Structure 1
Amino acid sequence: MTTEQQLKPGQRVERLRRAVGLSRERLANLSGLSATTVKFIENGRRSLTLRAAQQMAPHLGVRDLGDLFGPSVALSLGGRASHPAVDEVRRALTAWHLALDGEPESTDYLRGAVDSAWQTWHTSRHQRTAAGEILPGLLLATQRAARLHSGDDRRTSLALLAQAYHLAQAYLAWHGDRELVWLTVDRGMNAALDADDPLAIAQATWYAAHLLRAVGRGDEALERLREARSLIEPRIADGGPEWAEILADLHLCAALTRSRTGDQGAWSDWDTARSIVDRALPEGFVGLRTRVSRPLVNVYAVMCAVDLGDPDEAQRRAHALDPASIPSTERRGRHYVELARSADLEGAKEATLHLLARAEATSPETVRYSPAAQDLITRLSQESPASIRAEAVDLARRMNATDL
């Protein structure tokens, strides 16, 4: 018989979950994890990380994490890796310019600067370093313009300011203070609302929904996404491709949100997004800031299948998707991480390591700051067979896996 002290962390999670009367899906939704992650933690196929334990603990009635890890597990309190430019971005976000003078940059100039910043984010192999250099100046310029312009130019400046905050959110999403991420979401939404621009509001909602999902408020995220779609849908027929682009992106976000809670309804939202892209966007269309495109829709299909715990479907969806066709280096790196997660679901450690190495070669910073990639690398370095362990440890050292 297994004594209380001999229980593994996953067994402890399952016992506590049952004791408080939660299903795996409900615990996942409350904790901001996928139902598959909770399942695999409980059955031992995935290690319980400190981050996951902290997310689940309040909903399991746990105040001492030793109740989850047991007395024999040493915990590293080093925290998440943080990017060196976070302090400069924080200063830019929390600077209040009480007095401004001079002439603001023109809206045409600012639009070019914002578009260039997003292009850099999607094409650089080291997108966080590149964004960290751009963001302080971009935030200041768009903040000044929103304050100093008037009339239509002010509304346009506010919509561009919202985009600058969205880029800051993308930069901060996997590192830095959670409060800073909330700040970018709130500032971005307020700027979009002040601009009174449905496209800007819808895109701000897309970014807000990702954060709501990450903190276990998936139902709220879906409701906000429904509201945003109601702003866009009546304008699709008479609007340009950017309206269809944003509508498809909202459905893709809803699909991912549903899949993270094990809801097979994710495929309905995904199929709607695919239909919009196929029907309403020109062949070869790629959204400048969103990267919405036919390849991106297929990337989301792989992500949904992985989150739904279906590696066979993930591999089927990925079979015809050439990674080189994905119009974003950052997204391509994340796609390789998703394929690595799929291989991990099947216990294929060699394939998992190979795919993580491909992700690193594509976008090192995506791997270095992705919690999912870091978890995979850490476990591979500790649990791989001897034939690949040295390679796994080397990758973990290069990518600064935090639990080594």
Structure 2
Amino acid sequence: MPPDATPEPFDDLPFGRRLKLLRTRRGLTRDSFGGLVGKSASWVKSVESGRLATPKLSILLRIAEILRVRDLAQFTGDQSVAVDLFTGPGHPRLPAVRASINGLPALTARQAPPVAHLRARLDRAWRARHSSPHHREALGRLLPDLITDAQLAARQAEPRAQRRAAQAVLAEVYALSQFFIAYQPAADLLWRVAERGMVAAQDSGDVHAIGVSSWLMAQAHRDAGDWDAADAVTTQTAAALEPHVADAGTPARAMWGALAFESAYTAARRGETGVAWGYWDTANAVADRLPTAYYHPVTSFSQAIMGAHAVTVAVELRAGGESVRQSERAPAGAIPSRPRRARHEIEQARAYHLDARPEEAMSLLEQAQKAAPETIRYNGYARRILAEEMDSRDASRRHRASALSHKMELLAS
């Protein structure tokens, strides 16, 4: 059972008992959990014991984010408010991508294209993802044929060196697929692709491919709430790659830095301030040694991204003032990728929202919507801020949030 799944005994539990069970599963004390929510340990105890009623929506959403409870109805027991907090809508091209992943091209007589040709197509697909405001639509058009051809090449390529190169390309095609699938209602497909990507990368023996697959696998574990598994993947992979980094090219070095930041992200999610910033420092030192204009096509790791990463660490640590300070030092314009720029603007919005500055938060969400509509539409944190704003007592704030929700097509379904 996934860490965020709710077992049957939850059905008869009051809210406070559910909260206590989920909190303890995450290994959070009342003090640490209360600090993340912005409340005292005694408040947590009172809610868990039933002396205080179920909190209002804004607090519920904050708790759900911290505990990674995906469905608000599952959390509260009220099936009349079913809201999936971290999963966006299904993209129209998802069925075609799923069909390609689940297909069996090896049973056909079709000839695979050359590996070099696949590599060129994959590079173009990454460029399309970074440059398009509707990046899922762009990937959804390209992925079905690319997945099938990469699977064929990994099976047919000869000699052995060529087959290993084909496996490395296949691993990265699966990585690209994860960017398309993420935050859609297709958790089974996401895990299938993550696991296949890891197998292909290991079969290739390519340091960079192994790093990419591990980076994505760690994210999958963390987003599922299994922080220990995420840590194990990043630390073990980074340790295995470190002896090869000095002799590897820039992409492999950047991959090593990206893994260090993933460790920072997971530590921040745990509330481990010193550990999180220590890993951020390690990643920043790696970024400083990269060429100034370099930008890793998969992880976005670069000198330009480290400011955005600092915002994420501060936000995950629930440090409102520090989040805003980091946000002001990290302009989104320095990030060349449209979806990654929009993601950073959403993180900046989280910083201002955490610091109780809703006007600035909404301005940043509006900028993110202009930069990459498909990024904000599928982002659970953006939807959480909008949900709170639409619950505001201020009519102008409710109207502004409603207008952006309509642009994001959140109120049309």
Higher RCO (CA-CA < 8 Å; seq separation 6+) = 1
Partner SS, residue 26 of structure 1 = coil
1:131 to 126, 131, 139: 139
| Change in 2 beyond 3 A, CA 1:13/1:146 | same
Q: Which residue is equivalent to 1:48?
A: 60
2:347 to 333, 338, 342: 338
| Change in 2 beyond 3 A, CA 1:238/1:27 | same
CA distance in 2, matches of 1:367, 1:35: 28
Q: Which residue is equivalent to 2:51?
A: none
Query: Are residues 1:26 and 2:27 paired?
Result: yes
Note the C-alpha offset of 1:98. 4.0
Query: Are residues 1:299 and 2:278 paired?
Result: no
Q: Which moved more, 1:90-99 or 1:138-147?
A: 90-99
Q: Is contact 1:162–1:188 with CA below 8 Å preserved after alignment?
A: yes
Report the AA paired with residue 311 of structure 1.
G
- TM normalised by structure 2 equals 0.83
Report the AA paired with residue 278 of structure 1.
D
CA distance in 1, matches of 2:26, 2:200: 35
Q: Is contact 2:150–2:169 with CA below 8 Å preserved after alignment?
A: yes
Partner SS, residue 125 of structure 1 = coil
| Change in 2 beyond 3 A, CA 1:229/1:34 | farther
Q: Which residue is equivalent to 1:195?
A: 204
CA distance in 2, matches of 1:50, 1:346: 13
Q: Is contact 1:381–1:389 with CA below 8 Å preserved after alignment?
A: yes
Q: Is contact 2:212–2:298 with CA below 8 Å preserved after alignment?
A: no
Q: Is contact 2:406–2:412 with CA below 8 Å preserved after alignment?
A: no
Aligned residues: 380
CA distance in 1, matches of 2:186, 2:393: 32
Q: Is contact 1:298–1:321 with CA below 8 Å preserved after alignment?
A: yes
1:316-366 Cα deviation digits (max 9, x unpaired)? 222232211112111110111111111111222222211111110111111
Partner SS, residue 60 of structure 2 = coil
Q: Which residue is equivalent to 2:401?
A: 392
Report the AA paired with residue 85 of structure 1.
R
Q: Which moved more, 1:246-255 or 1:380-389?
A: 380-389
Q: Which residue is equivalent to 1:376?
A: 385
| Change in 2 beyond 3 A, CA 1:38/1:200 | farther
Note the C-alpha offset of 1:74. 2.9
Note the C-alpha offset of 1:212. 0.4
CA distance in 1, matches of 2:63, 2:319: 24
CA distance in 2, matches of 1:57, 1:399: 23
Note the C-alpha offset of 1:127. 0.6
- TM normalised by structure 1 equals 0.85
Note the C-alpha offset of 1:67. 7.6
1:35-94 Cα deviation digits (max 9, x unpaired)? 8469799775835359949x7779xxxxx9588256xx8313688411111111111111
Q: How does 1:97-112 map to 2 (within 5 A)?
A: 97-112=105-120
2:229 to 199, 220, 224: 220
CA distance in 1, matches of 2:134, 2:222: 26
2:171 to 145, 159, 162: 162
Q: Which residue is equivalent to 1:4?
A: none
Unaligned segments of structure 2, at least 5 residues: 1-13, 45-54
Q: Which residue is equivalent to 1:243?
A: 252
Query: Are residues 1:275 and 2:281 paired?
Result: no
Query: Are residues 1:181 and 2:182 paired?
Result: no
1:144-201 Cα deviation digits (max 9, x unpaired)? 1111112111111111111111111111111131101001101101111111222211
